[in-house]
Amino acid sequence: MLAIDVISTIFLAAGSLIMITGTVGLLKFPDFYTRMHATGKCDTLGQILIIMGCMIYEGFTFITIKLLLVSAFYLLAGPASTHALMKAAYVTGLPVWKKGDKRM
C-alpha cells in the first residue's frame, strides 16, 4: 500500500500548498475585492486536490461517491458565496482599489 500512501500524500500536499497560496494572497492583496480573488479561486482547486487525495487513500468504496458529491457541491456553492460577498460589498458602496492608490 506504499504507492497509494505516496500518491495520496502528494495530492494532499499540493492541495495544502494551494490553500497556503490563497492565504498569502488574502494577507497581501490591497483591497476587499482582490482578496476575494485569492481566496475564492485557490480554495476551489485546493479542495479538489485534497478530496482527490482522500479518495485515493480510501480506495474505491461508497465513501468515494460521498467525497465526489462533496467536491461537486463545493464547485456550485463556492462561486455562489464569493458572488454573494462581492455583491454585498458593491451594493453598500465599498470603494474599488485602483493601481497607485493607498492599500486599504
Partner 1 sequence: MEMTEMKEDHRTFSIALTFCIMFIFWVLLSAWTVYLPEPYDLSKVSRGILAALIVTFLTYEIFVPGKGEKVLLKTRRFIPYVGWELWQIYLATVDVAKRVFGILEVDPQIIEFDTTLRSDFALVTFANSITLTPGTITIDVEPERGRYIVHAIAKGPAESLTVDQTMQKKVGYVFMEE
Residues of this chain that interact with partner 1 (CB under 8 A) are 18, 21-22, 24-25, 28-31, 33-34, 36-38, 40-42, 44-46, 48, 62, 65-66, 69, 75-76, 79-80, 82-83, 86-87, 90, 96-99
Amino acid at 73: F
Least gap, CB of 5 to partner 1 (angstroms): 24
The neighbour count for residue 98, using CB atoms within 10 Å, is 8
As a whole number of angstroms, the distance between CA 53 and CA 65 comes to 14
Least gap, CB of 18 to partner 1 (angstroms): 6
Least gap, CB of 46 to partner 1 (angstroms): 8
Residue with smaller CB distance to partner 1, 5 or 28: 28
- Grid cell 497581501 in the structure block, residue: 28
As a whole number of angstroms, the distance between CA 44 and CA 50 comes to 10
